[in-house]
Amino acid sequence: MNELSQRLTDLSRPLRIHLVGVAGSGMSGLALLLMGMGHRVSGSDKVTSAETERMQGLGLRFSSPHTADAVDGADVVVYSSAIRPENPALAAARANGIRMMRRAECLAAILHTRKGIIVSGTHGKTTTSAMVAHGLREAGLNPSHYVGAEIPVLGQNARWSEHGEWMVAEGDESDGTLALYHPACAIVLNIEAEHLDHYRDIDEIKEVFRTLIAQTTGPIVFCAEDEGAKDVCGGHPEAISYGWSDADYVAGEIRELRGATAFSVFRKGEKLGEVELAIPGRHNVLNALAAIATCDRLGADFLLVSRALNSFAGAKRRFETKYLSKRLRIVDDYGHHPTEIAATLQTARQLKPERVVVLFQPHRFTRTQALAEDFGEVLAKADEVFVCDVYPASERPIPGVSGQTVVDAVNRHGGTAVSVPNLAAAHHRVGNALDPGDLLITLGAGNVHEAGTRIARDQKVVEEMLQLVTDGAMTVRLYEPMRRHTTMLVGGPAQFWIEPHTFEAFAEAVAYCRERGIAVRVVGRGSNLLVRDGGIRGAVIHPKGGEFNDCHVDEEGHVVAGAGVRLKKVASVAEAAGIGGFEWMEGIPGNVGGALRMNAGAMGVETFDQVVSVTLLGEDGEIVTRSRDEVESFYRNVPELRRNFALKAVFSGEPDTAENIRQRWDDSRAKRRATQPVAASAGCIFKNPEAVPAGMLVDELGMKGTGEGPAEVSAEHGNFIVNRGGAKAGDVLGLIERIRGQARMKRNIELETEVKIIGEDEPTF
């Protein structure tokens, strides 16, 4: 026991200890242990979190941000590796000659006041140390523990136990601090080439483990299935091996259950009993075996330990199920090394989903660079892979290393990967790509789990909505890109894209959204819409199919059409029945619903000139039919349909000869073709001001052909902006503002947009 360990145990003289960076998971664990021991603990951090608030409740003196004053009167200052030397609290401690130490040094000092059990290895440390702590606790040995993550079954990431003699801690090999420990027992799970930012090669890593082993006074439990662990530990007089065969402790008779694994445990050939592990995956069987061997060796009763493992719920972020339904499973996993990822993907396959879809966030530039090929090889085994930008941890970027590096490697290995650089919007791409039966894994040690949380939140809404209607009456998709549903081919995602196929389903969807305060908007063919790049928060309803696509002539010679019918179709059904007057509709790109709302017009005729009645869904949720006289209509506006939704309409025309109808049809088309572009557009951008038609004005301003990126004022018609391919809403909006500015400056005319501009600039959902 060194001098600090002695001072830590002398509780007649409690120390005053300050932790710099106390909100981090490792540091908060130390704070809990030191407070539990009876010391006076303070901590500072640049952020406040639920965890810092909880610790304040337990007696932590917390301050944010870091200041020099925070270390006043401290005997010891402990700092996390994420803290820079110029940090004011650290600088003050240095200036005042206060004793300073790294996190691991402090942990070692605490551990040496007890019989320490260090759990080490490249993968599985958190799970295994939690299993050991839980097993010893259930067997009545009262251990203290310190693990790297929140484990539901343990209550918190660290706990000081006044009476037990053992303390279980996760030892970190990443920065060489493993060599600080002199435990009574060590577990070595596996040793692989990792943390190559710190180590030259695998041999240098093994050296650190060898030091740990040499300093361990009691049993050394190691995995016989891992070459690295075997190389370092095998042959040691205190070594105890575990594995699938040829080991002191063996797991056999393995049965895969849904989401769990059952197996039998043998000690030197003798069957100890059965274990049913509630977390899936072969790698977890090995982790459990390490825990069983350790607990058994330390005198814990096997039956009590195996029972503890039955109730072991796993760590957060270790194959953690975040959403589960008949349609979809979303799992989050901290895996950030190829071996861990391979194990996680294997576990995922055992659940037999239709497809395994991965959203991977590489962790650290150095690791991404060093292991790109290995990442490519293992991730190629997933059905579809999305990769976002590298989570830097504390590193500076390395030129040429990014999420794309992994994408290229996956594709080289025959997989299917795409880059979704911005994590804040990645869930839009991923959520939209999911189909019923899929299993989505968010994978990585950074903050990628946030994407899964968002998809889970929204998928719940989708499934609740689908349950309201009979099978097949409605289709719902998450984050449907609006560029697929607008004639201008621009626009970000609709949070909930809903296609009702019956009036009832439409009404149910609207009622559901209103009850929950979800904004609702209805979209037809998207021919008069400009959707901003951040997409549309809330529900976007697109009536389609079934009753909405019905179009026929009734016994009174009227044309009846659902809201989802294209105007061109209305015109051709009328023509086939010898009814004239609809020819102007031939070139209008919209649907009946949008045409009613906007009172669409061309060639001197407006939609409401021909309306007999409109059937709509009222604000009160009732479906009613109104005659034309009961609905006010204006130039490009029918206010009544702003809050009520058009479901279908009856139109009238005049009986006419086929020849006359065809003639007017051809005239309309010829005129349109002569004056309007055929490229992707949203029709006229501006309303015609009184003084001059907007198209003529733009023409006179000399702005035809000018553009912002691929968005350009049409050379054919000044009131059209066309998308030459790949334009963003931002380009179109920029161009609109330029035109408005010129009209204001040069002609003193305030142009008003005729297209509806909707949605948000940045993703917010």
Ligand X SMILES: NC(=O)C1=CN([C@@H]2O[C@H](COP(=O)(O)OP(=O)(O)OC[C@H]3O[C@@H](n4cnc5c(N)ncnc54)[C@H](OP(=O)(O)O)[C@@H]3O)[C@@H](O)[C@H]2O)C=CC1
> What is the rounded CA–CA span in Å between residue 338 and residue 341?
5
CB of 525 to ligand EPU, least distance (A): 12
**250 Cα distance to chain centroid:** 39
Decide: residue 716, CB within 10 A, 0-12 exposed, 13-18 middle, 19+ buried: middle
Residue from 314, 562, 589, 718 binding ligand X (CB under 6 A): 589
CB of 572 to ligand X, least distance (A): 16
CB of 724 to ligand EPU, least distance (A): 18
Contact of 513 with 468, CB cutoff 8 Å: no
The verdict on whether 754 is a catalytic residue reads: yes
> Interface residues for ligand X in 514-553 (CB under 6 A)?
521-529, 543
In the complex with ligand X, the residue whose CB is nearer, 335 or 759, is 759
Residue from 563, 579, 680, 733 binding ligand X (CB under 6 A): 563
- Judged by beta carbon distances under 5 to 8 A according to partner kind, the member of ligand EPU, ligand X, none in contact with residue 595 is ligand X
**Residue 124 assigned to a binding site:** yes
CB of 741 to ligand EPU, least distance (A): 19
> What is the rounded CA–CA span in Å between residue 605 and residue 579?
16
In the complex with ligand EPU, the residue whose CB is nearer, 431 or 718, is 718
In the complex with ligand X, the residue whose CB is nearer, 344 or 502, is 502
CA distance readout (Å), 605 to 66, 578, 580, 656, 749: 70, 19, 13, 17, 26
Q: Per the residue annotation, which of 173, 340, 384, 754 is the catalytic one?
A: 754
**483 Cα distance to chain centroid:** 21
The verdict on whether 760 is a catalytic residue reads: no
CB of 753 to ligand X, least distance (A): 12
- Judged by beta carbon distances under 5 to 8 A according to partner kind, the member of ligand EPU, ligand X, none in contact with residue 218 is none
The tokens describing 458, both together, are 């929204």
In the complex with ligand X, the residue whose CB is nearer, 362 or 590, is 590
Q: Which residues bind ligand EPU (CB under 6 A)?
A: 602-603, 675, 683-684, 687-688, 693, 695-696, 699, 717-719, 754
**Which stretch in 122-130, 291-299, 336-344, 638-646 sits in contact with ligand X by CB under 6 A?**
638-646
> Which amino acid is it at 605?
V
- Judged by beta carbon distances under 5 to 8 A according to partner kind, the member of ligand X, ligand EPU, none in contact with residue 526 is ligand X
Residue from 161, 284, 591, 615 binding ligand X (CB under 6 A): 591
- Judged by beta carbon distances under 5 to 8 A according to partner kind, the member of ligand X, ligand EPU, none in contact with residue 71 is none
- Judged by beta carbon distances under 5 to 8 A according to partner kind, the member of ligand X, ligand EPU, none in contact with residue 641 is ligand X
In the complex with ligand X, the residue whose CB is nearer, 390 or 567, is 567
Decide: residue 200, CB within 10 A, 0-12 exposed, 13-18 middle, 19+ buried: exposed
Query: Could you tell me which residues come within 8 angstroms of residue 164 by beta carbon, excluding any fewer than 6 positions away?
Result: 114, 136, 141, 142, 143, 144
Contact of 118 with 133, CB cutoff 8 Å: no
CB of 737 to ligand X, least distance (A): 21
> What is the rounded CA–CA span in Å between residue 678 and residue 44?
63
Rounding to the nearest 10 degrees, give the CA dihedral for residues 180, 184, 190, 192: 20
- Closest residue (Cβ) to ligand EPU? 683
Q: Per the residue annotation, which of 61, 514, 636, 747 is the catalytic one?
A: 636
DSSP string, 71-127: GTT-SEEEE-TTS-TT-HHHHHHHHTT-EEEEHHHHHHHHHTTSEEEEEESSS-HHH
The structure tokens 């912002």 sit at: 708
The structure tokens 């719920």 sit at: 313
Query: Could you tell me which residues come within 8 angstroms of residue 517 by beta carbon, excluding any fewer than 6 positions away?
Result: none
**Residue 545 assigned to a binding site:** no
CA distance readout (Å), 458 to 317, 450, 452, 476: 20, 13, 10, 11
> Which amino acid is it at 170?
E
Contact of 448 with 388, CB cutoff 8 Å: yes
- Judged by beta carbon distances under 5 to 8 A according to partner kind, the member of ligand X, ligand EPU, none in contact with residue 719 is ligand EPU
In the complex with ligand X, the residue whose CB is nearer, 167 or 602, is 602
The verdict on whether 684 is a catalytic residue reads: yes
In the complex with ligand X, the residue whose CB is nearer, 339 or 633, is 633
The tokens describing 406, both together, are 């992994």
In the complex with ligand X, the residue whose CB is nearer, 232 or 595, is 595
Q: Per the residue annotation, which of 106, 223, 295, 684 is the catalytic one?
A: 684
- Judged by beta carbon distances under 5 to 8 A according to partner kind, the member of ligand X, ligand EPU, none in contact with residue 642 is ligand X
In the complex with ligand X, the residue whose CB is nearer, 445 or 523, is 523
- Judged by beta carbon distances under 5 to 8 A according to partner kind, the member of ligand X, ligand EPU, none in contact with residue 185 is none
Residue from 107, 598, 614, 751 binding ligand X (CB under 6 A): 598
Does the protein bind ligand X through residue 729 (CB under 6 A)?
no
**Residue 416 assigned to a binding site:** no
Q: How many residues of this chain interact with ligand X, rule: CB under 6 A?
A: 29
> What is the rounded CA–CA span in Å between residue 521 and residue 760?
14
**Residue 675 assigned to a binding site:** no
Rounding to the nearest 10 degrees, give the CA dihedral for residues 137, 143, 148, 152: 30
**Residue 125 assigned to a binding site:** yes
Contact of 75 with 148, CB cutoff 8 Å: no
CA distance readout (Å), 474 to 10, 329, 470, 471, 517: 70, 21, 8, 7, 20
Residue from 34, 539, 595, 722 binding ligand X (CB under 6 A): 595
**709 Cα distance to chain centroid:** 30
CB of 729 to ligand EPU, least distance (A): 18
The structure tokens 């979809």 sit at: 328
Query: Could you tell me which residues come within 8 angstroms of residue 97 by beta carbon, excluding any fewer than 6 positions away?
Result: none
> Closest Cα partner for 689 from 725, 719, 727?
719
> Interface residues for ligand X in 675-704 (CB under 6 A)?
683
> What is the rounded CA–CA span in Å between residue 175 and residue 167?
22
**Residue 122 assigned to a binding site:** yes
> What is the rounded CA–CA span in Å between residue 464 and residue 539?
13
Residues annotated in the binding site for ATP, as ranges? Answer: 121-127
Residues annotated in the binding site, as ranges? Answer: 121-127
Which residues of this protein are in contact with ligand X, per CB under 6 A? 521-529, 543, 563, 567, 588-591, 593-595, 597-598, 600, 602, 641-642, 645-646, 683, 756
> Which residues are part of the catalytic machinery?
636, 684, 754
